[in-house]
Amino acid sequence: MQKTYHGSCHCGAVQFEAKADLATGSRCNCSICTKARYWKTLVKRDDFKLLQGTNALADYQFGSNTIHHQFCRTCGVKVFGRAHLDIEFQGQPLRGEFYAINIACLDDATPAELDALPIAYEDGRADHWERAPAETRYL
């Protein structure tokens, strides 16, 4: 079920609002998600609003340069990623611009709410986003 959440980086320079269904969250084993221990949920462009911090954001891209990994220049927290894709994700079409918000950055998601969430896993290391990797305990 979609709900409006508010989030921020550690120092508060970057703040956002997103209408998201946290039950669609996922963890990936690609190189950047593994190193960052990134837990994301995807939201459409119209469901995301950057409230503060445009000038505080830095952009990082690698590999195919498809995803813009956005992080705070001050505290270094990756707040969200954004991209324009035309793929299937978790059995649903993902078309157009989307934001991959960092669930750990949500200020108003309670520990109990987060604990109850299912987690899907993606084998991004092998470019098989539609399936879980053989090992997920470290994610």
Condensed to tens digits (0 to 9), the pLDDT of residues 53-78 reads 999 999 999 988 889 999 999 999 99
In the chain, pLDDT over 90 holds for what percent of residues?
A: 77
CATH fold of the domain at 3-126: 2.170.150
- What's residue 94's pLDDT? 72
What is the CA 71 to chain-centroid distance, rounded?
12
- Find the mean pLDDT for residues 45-60: 97
Q: What is the pLDDT of residues 120-136, one digit of tens each?
A: 999 989 988 788 999 99
Q: Which residues 6+ apart lie within 8 Å of 118 measured at CB?
A: 23, 25
Local confidence band at 95 (pLDDT 50, 70, 90 cut-offs): confident
Q: Which of 2-5's residues contact partners 24+ apart within 8 Å by CB, and which partners?
A: 2/47, 5/106, 5/107, 5/108, 5/109
- DSSP class of residue 75 equals T
